């Protein structure tokens, strides 16, 4: 599987994501945001950071980068897209996943390890996560409070669009509606989450739970390829 | 073509938690001020548009407000045309 990791001005988790993707066994390269091509990427990762300095609103300006048109087309064709932290904010601003990320209710930049529950295992992002397992991943964000109007939250839940929830007993770290940490688009091929799986891809980092997401994507691509071949 | 100058005010929608507004409100007591409520913090943007008419200029501002300056899911905006003779708001000189 070939992964492309987008580099916006201000991205700072692009190389971590590149490392984690390669560690999981993917072929991976960086994609410059001004280049409108995806260079054959089957998976596009929008990494964490502060694209365009988070000016105006986090993700608001990155959304208009030339590469985003190609990513929208890729998603439209059913291609896989993963947005991590700032990448999730970009996806939300672009309307590729539902909702918006507001300032944390604490008004602080929250950075800590969190436990995540995985709400579905039948997605390309979570297929390799053992049933019942929680994931230990770090968060590091100032705007991670997930918002969607109540009726739309019900609809999101009903269609299985909530993929990850904060599961620590002390509650969620940013005030997110319904403890939401990550969501899926309607079609199930675009995922955004605030925690950082790429920063938890080796035991030496404190956890390698994040690698399960990259492995899931790799395995689902392999299954898809064999299905196509058959 | 004429240059039209506008001010766009972007505010968190009613019902959207505004922790900045809450923090500002929470510190007013330190000033000895009481009776101030419902503080909301938004954004004020001024810009000039070259267009053939005021209506055309206003349409451009509305479009860019909904597509970029505000996120319609969480923010509402209003557009006001400024007197063309008025210079952009000057930053008060620090004493």
Spell out the domains of chain B, with CATH numbers in brackets. Answer: 2-15+41-81 (3.30.1280.10)
Strands (E), A17-104: 27-32, 43-46, 80-84, 100-102
- Hunting for tokens 């267009």 — which residue is that? B51
How many CB atoms are located within 10 Å of the residue A181 CB?
A: 29
Q: How far apart are the first and last CA of chain B?
A: 41
A228 or A1, which is more confident? A1
In the predicted model, what is the mean pLDDT of residues A71-84?
97
Structural domains in chain A, sorted by start: 2-229 (3.40.50.880)
Nearest to A134 by CA among A104, A108, A159, A114: A114
Q: How many Cβ contacts (< 8 angstroms) between chains A and B?
A: 30
Partners of residue B16 in chain A, C-beta under 8 Å: 102, 147
Backbone angles phi, psi at A137, to 5 degrees: -135, 155
B34 or B62, which is more confident? B62
Interface residue B14 vs chain A (CB under 8 A): no
Nearest-CB residue to A107 (from B19, B69, B73): B19
Nearest to A11 by CA among A34, A43, A37: A34
Across the interface, whether the CB atoms of A56 and B73 are under 8 A apart is answered: no
Q: B40, exposed or middle or buried, with CB in 10 Å at 0-12, 13-18, 19+?
A: middle
The CA distance from B21 to B32, in Å, is 18
Q: What pLDDT was estimated at residue B3?
A: 95
B90 or A226, which is more confident? A226
pLDDT higher than threshold 70 for residue B82? yes
ipTM metric? 0.84
pLDDT higher than threshold 90 for residue A225? no
Measure in Å the smallest separation between the Cα of A152 and chain B Cα atoms. Answer: 11
Note the pLDDT tens digit of each residue in A115-146.
999 999 999 999 999 999 999 999 999 999 99
Q: How many CA atoms lie within 13 A of A177 on its CB side?
A: 20
Percent of chain B residues topping a pLDDT of 70: 87
A147, two tokens: 């918002």
Nearest to B65 by CA among B8, B12, B6, B13: B8
The CA distance from A196 to A173, in Å, is 14
Measure in Å the smallest separation between the Cα of B74 and chain A Cα atoms. Answer: 7
The CA distance from A97 to A194, in Å, is 13
Q: Are A100 and B70 in contact (CB under 8 A)?
A: no
Nearest-CB residue to B73 (from A100, A106, A107): A100
In the predicted model, what is the mean pLDDT of residues B21-42?
90
Residue A222: band (very low, low, confident or very high) from pLDDT cuts 50, 70, 90: confident
Q: What pLDDT was estimated at residue B89?
A: 52
Q: In angstroms, how far is CA A119 from the centroid of its own chain?
A: 15
Residue of A nearest to B19 (CA): A105
pLDDT higher than threshold 80 for residue B95? no
How many CB atoms are located within 10 Å of the residue A62 CB?
A: 29
3 state DSSP class of A149: coil
pLDDT higher than threshold 60 for residue A43? yes
Q: Which distant-in-sequence residues (6+ apart) come within 8 Å of B31 by Cβ? A: none
Q: In angstroms, how far is CA A186 from the centroid of its own chain?
A: 15
Residue A230: band (very low, low, confident or very high) from pLDDT cuts 50, 70, 90: very low
Note the pLDDT tens digit of each residue in A166-191.
999 988 999 999 999 999 999 999 99
The CA distance from A8 to A21, in Å, is 18
The CA distance from A119 to A215, in Å, is 17
pTM of the model: 0.91
Interface residue A106 vs chain B (CB under 8 A): yes
């Amino acid at each position: 599987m070939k992964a492309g990791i987008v580099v916006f001005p201000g991205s700072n988790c692009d190389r971590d994501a590149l490392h984690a993707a390669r560690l999981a066994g993917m072929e991976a390269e960086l994609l410059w945001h001004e280049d409108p091509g995806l260079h054959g990427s089957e998976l596009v990762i929008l990494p964490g950071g502060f694209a365009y300095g988070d000016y105006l609103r986090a993700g608001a300006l990155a959304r208009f980068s030339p590469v985003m048109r190609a990513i929208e087309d890729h998603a439209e064709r059913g291609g896989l897209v993963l947005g991590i932290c700032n990448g999730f904010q970009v996806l939300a601003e672009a309307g590729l996943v539902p909702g918006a990320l507001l300032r944390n209710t604490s008004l602080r930049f929250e950075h800590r390890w969190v436990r995540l529950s995985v709400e579905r295992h039948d997605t390309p992002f979570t297929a390799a996560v053992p049933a019942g397992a929680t994931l230990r991943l770090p968060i590091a964000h100032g705007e991670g409070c997930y918002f969607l109007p109540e009726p739309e939250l019900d609809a999101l839940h009903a269609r299985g669009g909530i993929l990850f929830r904060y599961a620590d007993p002390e509650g969620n770290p940013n005030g997110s509606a319904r403890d939401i940490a990550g969501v899926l688009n309607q079609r199930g091929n675009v995922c955004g989450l605030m925690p950082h799986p790429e920063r938890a891809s080796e035991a030496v980092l404190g956890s390698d739970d994040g690698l399960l997401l990259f492995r899931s994507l790799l395995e689902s691509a392999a299954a898809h390829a064999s299905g196509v071949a058959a | 073509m004429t240059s039209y100058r506008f001010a766009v005010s972007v505010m968190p929608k009613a019902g959207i938690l505004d922790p900045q507004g809450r923090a500002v409100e929470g510190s007013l007591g330190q000033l000895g001020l009481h009776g101030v409520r419902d503080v909301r913090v938004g954004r004020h943007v001024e810009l000039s548009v070259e267009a053939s008419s005021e209506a055309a200029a206003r349409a451009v501002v509305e479009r860019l407000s909904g597509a970029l300056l505000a996120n319609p899911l969480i923010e509402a905006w209003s557009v006001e045309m400024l007197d063309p003779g008025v210079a952009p708001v000057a930053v008060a000189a620090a004493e």
